[in-house]
Amino acid sequence: MIMDILYRLFYTVFSMSCMALVLLLGILFLRFLFRNLSKGLTLVLWWILFLRAVCPLGMSSPVCIYDPWNRRFHTLLRSLGLQISPDKGLLTGWRYVFEGAICAGRAYRICVLIWLGGMLLLLMGVMWKQLRLRRKLKQNSRCLFDRIYESPMTVFPVRCGLVNSRVYLPEGLLAREMKDVVAYEALRRRRGDDLWRGLAFLVCCIHWWNPALWLAYYLLWRDQNTACDAAFVKKTGMEPAQCAQVLANMKQDKERKISPSLVTGYEGDLFRRAGNLLYIRKKPLWQSGLASFVVTLLVFWAFALSAFQGNKGAGTDQDKLFDSSRAKTITNHVIAGCDTQVSSGSAVRLELVMTKGTFQKGKGYRGEGALRLKDEQGKELTELSLTKVFTDTDTQQFQENVSLKTADYNEDGTMEIAVGQRAGKDAEKKYNYYIINIEKDSLSVVSPAIYLDQVTSLQEGSMVLSYVQGAGGVITVTEEDETTYYVWDTAKGRYEQQEMTEEELEKRRSRKSAETQDTPKYYSLKNDKGKEVMNVAVSTQDNGGLAIEKVKINPDGLDRRTGTKTMTDVEGYYLDLQWAPSDNDQKKYALLTYNGTAGRTFSLYDIENGRLCYRPQSGNEALQNIFKKYGASKDVSFEKDGAVVYSLMEIDQDDVLKINFAASAKDDVAVKGTYQYSLSSGEETSLQYSRE
């Protein structure tokens, strides 16, 4: 409960600090404009700033003189993990910040704790220094009269206390000089300069990270001194030159033995102030009147209009915090991806990337696209620019919910993908697709343009074309009772459009069936002696995927008739089989990577003992239990049966696995991290994660 209040307070303080930064620019301009007028007007400007920095009244959204600033401000907060539900609440008024449901990520919590710790340290440090100064002066001074003291520790008048302050004068002042100095300090007390400055310091403590407030605090001190000097001239009726002499007499030519704190009242910058008094001139009344009118407008701007964007009506699209209806420029942005495999059986990652373009909510992506291939470690293997594929246009367009779908159209064990775009205005068909072959280190176009007239919105960009199962690569496009055939030519290594009859198609299927008869497909693993100690039998599905049928293990070699263990408990599509990475590089554990029922995962096998030694549970239930164990379930809450990707990073010499995971959680939160699993104890430890 307390932390929730702190989260909301920090949002409010951070917002008002940004507003104060914008307001300071206007105040500095007016301060320069009023430099020859009464400093009382300038002091009003500073009080507007300091009051606005702690008064949320009228705040509708921070830094919204220019609307994109407001969006970037809230995007920054969201990137730190702040969420107030619903999102539009942050723009409908300050009160809603304390009414909506709040959720804070680790980065935002750290920022809140840093803010709170810095504020407390600053307050305690200044209080300690002020008490030490007061004690030192009290021990080394003598009372002259009333609350006026003389001390050898100071070289200029010092005031301690905000209300009933004591005045410590330096030694060596003459009687007449002392009378004028005491009268000046009495004027200080009546004006309440120290009290107002103390309140300004509290505001600076709240915004201690903001250099704009500290600049304002310093300029406030200077303008208070100048305003008090002018008031002293007016009250005493002295000539400005006489008052300048009074100020000059306050400082003694001795070594200073004390250091004032940030809230100490003292007479500093005396010679500059004395020089300014020599140039005091009475200004025309109309100038002061015009300046007062301008200050009134500033108050209205700062509080009524707030200098920021107001509400546009609750429930409208404009109230949404992260409005994505505008086109946004993006660079190297991954808009879709899928896991697949190459002919060797190795797992790869295929990504559709917008290298340069824009994104607009409801209209999708537009710009220069590319297909990018990466290995399991995320290293880029190759890239194919789609501008080279669709040569009739310089840009491509994809729906925001586009997905990549691969298939083995020619049934050679290598996956392909069909990528399409809307055809030009003069084209007979509305869409044209190309088949792109996926190899380990290359992506190549292996078909002519395949034209279609009708596809669904979800099929735009990437789709699985119709093909004849068991025919070794025959893609069919049927529209208006007319079928067009695209046939795989093994010699040319590409598809060619040609006419076919049903008899020719059946002959091709029979020939392909005879070629593949009695040739089971499996992937194997060999030890250092070249013996095959494990294999994974797979079957090709209609979608081109390789479904895992069974796993065989024999540490002495699968060619032996005895000692082979068969397991059939793996459910999923094969991706890769390799020796597990370990510190000592021993071939002890085999790593089978596959697409399971709830995302990409793996199984780890102990070859020597012929057993399964670890497999993450399907789905994110086990991951949720680990988060509960570490008290992180309040920060991240998973959807039931949500997708999750597991991968094994390494195995250390103590048989401890370091496991990487990426999962989707509630509220569109993506969670990435690692944890460790001990094969001996069966315990998960060392959870580390980040959320996006």
Do 66 and 73 touch, CB atoms closer than 8 A? Answer: no
Asked whether the predicted pLDDT for residue 286 surpasses 60, the reply is no
CATH of the domain at 677: 3.10.450
Q: Is residue 584 part of a domain?
A: yes
* Residue 389 shares a structural domain with residue 291: no
Residue in the structure block whose two tokens are 């199962």:
469
b/e 505-523 (16+ beta carbons within 10 angstroms → b): beebbeebeeeeeeeeebb
Do 466 and 404 touch, CB atoms closer than 8 A? Answer: no
* Residue 578 shares a structural domain with residue 608: yes
Q: pLDDT band at residue 347, thresholds of 50, 70 and 90?
A: confident
Least confident of 119-133, 356-370, 489-503, 505-519: 505-519
Q: Is residue 122 part of a domain?
A: no
Q: pLDDT digit string (tens) for 194-217?
A: 888 999 999 999 999 899 999 999
Q: Is residue 131 part of a domain?
A: no
Q: pLDDT band at residue 496, thresholds of 50, 70 and 90?
A: very high
CA torsion through residues 81, 87, 89, 93, sign:
positive
CB half-sphere exposure, 660, CA atoms < 13 A = 8
Q: Is residue 119 part of a domain?
A: no
pLDDT of residue 61: 43
Q: Which amino acid is at 605?
A: Y
Least confident of 16-20, 82-86, 244-248, 378-382: 82-86
* Residue 416 shares a structural domain with residue 459: yes
Residue 135: strand, helix, or coil: helix
Of residues 427, 430, 352, 337, the one with CA closest to residue 384: 352
Q: pLDDT digit string (tens) for 433-471?
A: 999 999 878 899 999 999 888 888 778 889 899 888 878
Q: pLDDT digit string (tens) for 117-129?
A: 999 999 999 999 9
Rounded distance between C-alpha atoms, residue 657 and residue 649, angstroms? 8
**Per DSSP, what are the bridge partners of residue 417?**
406, 436
* Residue 356 shares a structural domain with residue 458: yes
Those residues with Cβ within 8 angstroms of residue 619's Cβ, 6 or more apart along the chain or in another chain: 597, 598, 599, 641, 642, 644
* Residue 313 shares a structural domain with residue 349: no
Least confident of 53-67, 215-229, 300-314, 522-536: 300-314
Of 292, 323, 354, which residue constitutes the final position of a domain?
Answer: 323
Q: Is residue 128 part of a domain?
A: no
Q: pLDDT band at residue 307, thresholds of 50, 70 and 90?
A: very low
Q: Is residue 368 part of a domain?
A: yes
* Residue 171 shares a structural domain with residue 302: no
* Residue 56 shares a structural domain with residue 90: yes
* Residue 193 shares a structural domain with residue 332: no
Number of structural domains the chain divides into: 5
pLDDT of residue 66: 47
Do 548 and 601 touch, CB atoms closer than 8 A? Answer: no
* Residue 567 shares a structural domain with residue 429: no
Of 292, 307, 323, which residue constitutes the final position of a domain?
Answer: 323
Rounded distance between C-alpha atoms, residue 101 and residue 81, angstroms? 14
DSSP code of residue 621: H
Question: Interior CA angle at 35 toward 34 and 37, to 5°?
Answer: 65
Those residues with Cβ within 8 angstroms of residue 213's Cβ, 6 or more apart along the chain or in another chain: 17, 20, 50, 53, 203, 204, 207
Q: Is residue 133 part of a domain?
A: no
* Residue 352 shares a structural domain with residue 470: yes
* Residue 240 shares a structural domain with residue 289: no
Average pLDDT, the chain: 81
Q: pLDDT band at residue 680, thresholds of 50, 70 and 90?
A: confident
Of 515, 532, 557, which residue constitutes the final position of a domain?
Answer: 515
C-alpha 609, offset from chain centre: 46
* Residue 502 shares a structural domain with residue 353: yes
Mean pLDDT for 385-392 is: 90
Asked whether the predicted pLDDT for residue 95 surpasses 60, the reply is no
Rounded distance between C-alpha atoms, residue 406 and residue 545, angstroms? 9
Asked whether the predicted pLDDT for residue 593 surpasses 70, the reply is yes
Given phi > 0 = left and psi -120 to 50 = alpha, else beta, which region is 593?
beta
Written as one string, the DSSP assignment of 551-591 is EEE-TT-TTSSSS-EEE----SEEEEEEEPPBTT--S-EEE
The DSSP bridge pattern shows strands 166-170 and 148-151 to be parallel
Those residues with Cβ within 8 angstroms of residue 174's Cβ, 6 or more apart along the chain or in another chain: 249
Of residues 628, 630, 623, the one with CA closest to residue 664: 623
Residue in the structure block whose two tokens are 């810095």:
118
Of residues 21, 25, 31, the one with CA closest to residue 226: 31
Asked whether the predicted pLDDT for residue 136 surpasses 70, the reply is yes
pLDDT of residue 91: 42
Q: Is residue 42 part of a domain?
A: yes
pLDDT of residue 242: 84
Those residues with Cβ within 8 angstroms of residue 401's Cβ, 6 or more apart along the chain or in another chain: 458
Least confident of 86-95, 224-233, 469-478, 651-660: 86-95
Of residues 428, 424, 439, 441, the one with CA closest to residue 390: 424
Rounded distance between C-alpha atoms, residue 160 and residue 266, angstroms? 9
Do 475 and 426 touch, CB atoms closer than 8 A? Answer: no
pLDDT of residue 48: 83
Domain containing 643 equals 617-692
